[in-house]
Amino acid sequence: MNYRRLLSQVSLACLTIVLIEGLKPLAAKAEPVSPLHAGTANWATLTINRPGGYILEVTSALGDVDVEVYDPAGRRFAQGRRLGNETIFFNVPPGAEGTFRIRYSMAICVNPLGACGVNINIYRQ
């Protein structure tokens, strides 16, 4: 097997991925979040780089998680308080991009071993 040729092909593939991400970076990025016990809350940040429609999913397998979304100016503009997981659809107008804050709280946690895990995902519509 020609390792030099294989290495050059792998290098070219990696370079292509880096260039594509450099020219078209992610539209949004959420940070990892901490698990919560019942009755507690925490904050996370969400960076949105492009205007448009977004879907925010906040899930917990063993609990009821509620969420509030605050824009870069600190105003609450979206929230989810239904039983179970939350899905919020929202629009970021041009010029409103930036770092959004998310307050997530655990109303009910049924994990006998401790805190309930929380997942926050953001998708562009």
Position 33 scores a pLDDT of 82
CB atoms within 10 A of CB 60: 24
| Predicted TM-score (pTM) above 0.75 | no
Nearest to 56 by CA among 71, 69, 75: 69
Measuring CA to CA, how many Å separate 113 from each of 64, 117, 120?
16, 11, 22
- What is the tens place of the pLDDT at every residue in 74-92? 999 899 888 888 999 999 9
| Pair 45, 56: CB distance under 8 Å | no
Residue 90 tokens, joined: 């929202």
Average pLDDT per consecutive 10 residues, the chain (125 residues; last block may be shorter): 55 48 52 86 91 92 92 92 89 92 93 90 88
CA atoms within 13 A on the CB side of 114: 5
Position 8 scores a pLDDT of 53
Q: In whole angstroms, what is the distance from residue 125 CA to residue 122 CA?
A: 10
Which CATH number is 27-124's, of 2.60.40.420, 3.40.50.2300, 3.40.50.150, 2.60.120.380?
2.60.120.380
Q: Which single residue is written with the structure tokens 């946690």?
A: 109
